[in-house]
Amino acid sequence: MIVDIHTHVGEYPGHIDERFAEQAREAWPDVKLGGTLEEHYAGALDGVDRCVVLAFNAPAAGFVVPNEYVADYVARDPERLIGFGAVDPSAPDAIEELERIKHDLRLAGCKLGPIYQDVDPLGPEFLRVCEALERLELPMMIHQGTTFARAGSLLQARPILLDEIALRFPELRIVIAHMGHPFFEEAIAVVRRHPHVYADVSALVSRRWLLWNALVQAVEYGVTDKLLFGTDFPFFTARQTMEGLRSVTGQAFGPQLPEIDPEVVEEIIHRPALELLGIG
């Protein structure tokens, strides 16, 4: 069983506004923005058994994929598609929306991204969302790392801030997207300290040296069992991601440097992520 814990849907125009699109193109000139649900279904499930489909709620950045859109889509094939909702912590009805995500839309988790939402992860608005997620037993997928989008500050994006959240909400399941890139040390330190904090390896294959460094650090700190397979589809496919992960094993950068055991990578690819997050 292979699970992709991190895939996106979203239409352009529609869910992605011009400001977000321009900033994306500055960073990735060839980026293809948006896609249909048919493209997602054919592409995201190619080479994996199940995938998580993320809503997004970041008006500050110009990227909003509604919870209903994701719920309707995953209802087409609930065996293979798992939906995560999203809330904007600054919205007055954020907690009611979380209740709706859980009880009405029957989504399995919640996506957050303070740097896209321009919100302080340790501020009262964000903490009340964390409190509700813990109470509702909804895992949190959090983009805690850098991005091309300039909605918020990098100071809101440090993985180390999640240490405080994990201390306050010890039953909350947290997945740090992209291993907190480029703040891998902070992400690994937080993952190591808390039994319910994980990190996904999505999108890291675009930077092979950084991917290798991140994995070596995870091996040396003994946390590779908390790394989950993810792609960031449509930006990367499962096949690309598996190939990229396998390409940094062994003597990938010559005999002088630490080697990553290919078995470590196979375990990441086959990790039972949904069971670990309590949504299997």
For 53, the 3-state DSSP assignment is: strand
Q: How far apart are CA 56 and CA 40, in angstroms?
A: 16
Stretch that binds Zn ion, among 22-30, 114-122, 168-176, 225-233 (CB under 5 A): 225-233
Q: Which of 107, 89, 59, 84 is closest to 6 using CA atoms?
A: 84
**Residue 37 CB neighbour total at 10 angstroms:** 16
Instruction: Kindly identify the residues of this chain, within the stretch 176-205, that bind Zn ion according to CB under 5 A.
Output: none
Is residue 4 at the binding interface for Zn ion, with CB under 5 A as the rule?
Answer: no
For the bound state, the minimum distance from the C-beta of residue 213 to Zn ion, rounded and expressed in Å, comes to 20
Is residue 232 at the binding interface for Zn ion, with CB under 5 A as the rule?
Answer: yes
- Closer CB to Zn ion, residue 260 or residue 277? 277
Cα 237 from chain centroid (whole Å): 14
- Closer CB to Zn ion, residue 4 or residue 97? 4
- Closer CB to Zn ion, residue 60 or residue 260? 60
Q: Are 5 and 141 in contact (CB under 8 A)?
A: yes
For the bound state, the minimum distance from the C-beta of residue 143 to Zn ion, rounded and expressed in Å, comes to 6
- Closer CB to Zn ion, residue 64 or residue 95? 64
- Which tokens belong to 182? 């480029």
- Count of residues touching Zn ion (by CB under 5 A): 1
Stretch that binds Zn ion, among 116-124, 220-228, 230-238, 240-248 (CB under 5 A): 230-238
In order, the DSSP letters of 99-139 are: HHHHHTS---EEEE-HHHHT--TTSHHHHHHHHHHHHHT--
Q: How far apart are CA 42 and CA 100, in angstroms?
A: 29
- Closer CB to Zn ion, residue 202 or residue 224? 202
Residues that bind Zn ion (CB under 5 A): 232
